[in-house]
Amino acid sequence: MALCLDFPSSWVTVIEPQGTTWSWERLVFWFYSALRSLALDIDIVDLNQWALGDNAVPLNLTALGYQLVVIPSMTMVSPAAVAALANFSGHVIIGPRSFAKTTVFQNPQAPLAPEVLPMHVLRVEALPDGYQETVTLRMPFSDPSSFGTDYNVTVWKEYVRSMNPVTSQLSASSSSSAAAAAAAAAGQASAQSLGNFSSISSGVGQCTGDNAGCSSSGFGAGDPAVLMMTSPSGTTSTRYVYYLAFYPPRNLIVDLVTSVAQHIGLAVTPLPHTLRVATNVRVLRVHSNVQHRGFYVL
């Protein structure tokens, strides 16, 4: 699997901070720590390739053998990254404040990469120190009759709306993940709300899990917190994108990655806190093109 790091995202959040507790480095470490605790083989990858400028060649993530791509937070996105993700057949987990700024530090008037992330972020909120929000999340590909799990969320949350019709997997009438995959195979994009915010933190707006009657004036109980968006990739493959509209705690990352990894057949071995596999992290260094690359073992 690929863990995509984008250091300019750290610089952007330092230049334009939103909340005293936001830390790109801590968020990345939580993702990295969660993946390592599951003994997953990790390649650290630079999708944006800012240093190569116009000479950047999009990575062929599918040809490189990746089934799962994890992006903790990517504030700005390059054409190379958009092309790499748009042509990827697999699963992509994307964290908050991603695709949130143009290269001139402006808030985009429309989604920067709708072919990858077909959704709008209508409002964001830095949560006060000591404030705790609850997200109820049902893991993808789980038993649709099961109840979701509650997770405590701090630091950050976003009010998001999918560009495609949304069903809520937390409702009795929701469509299954299999139905979403069938829609993608038929050339149709779809979206599911896998998790909802369970309380109102500010403003007066209220939304249901399917985004009906949403107002951009505030967050309400039932607002989507985790969107799973499926779309066709190529002629026979499907791309799944999971967007986390909040600063995820480490235990939620572990549970979500475990669910997705097991579904696609990646070996997952939960390890004790004091034990890690020593040789399963590599850094993919792209020089002039995808054909010339070096792996450095951590």
CATH code of 99's domain: 3.40.50.880
Burial class (CB in 10 A: 0-12, 13-18, 19+), 290: middle
| Confidence at residue 180, expressed as pLDDT on a 0 to 100 scale | 55
Percent of the chain exceeding pLDDT 70 equals 74
| Confidence at residue 274, expressed as pLDDT on a 0 to 100 scale | 77
| Confidence at residue 71, expressed as pLDDT on a 0 to 100 scale | 97
What is the value of pTM for the model shown?
Answer: 0.83
- Rounded Cα–Cα distance for residues 236 and 220 (Å): 38
The confidence band for 177, taking pLDDT boundaries of 50, 70 and 90, is low
Residue type (1 letter), 241: V
Short-list 51, 40, 37, 197, CA closest to 125: 197
Across the range 240-264, mean pLDDT stands at 95
> How many domains, in total, are found in the chain?
1
Angle at 181 between CA 179 and CA 186, to 5 degrees: 95
The answer to which of 14-23, 196-205, 289-298 has the lowest mean pLDDT is 289-298
The confidence band for 216, taking pLDDT boundaries of 50, 70 and 90, is very low
Short-list 266, 296, 279, CA closest to 38: 266
Contacts of 129 (CB under 8 A, 6+ apart): 20, 21
For residue 142, pLDDT beyond 70: yes
| Confidence at residue 145, expressed as pLDDT on a 0 to 100 scale | 67
Structural domain boundaries enclosing 87:
2-297
The confidence band for 287, taking pLDDT boundaries of 50, 70 and 90, is very low
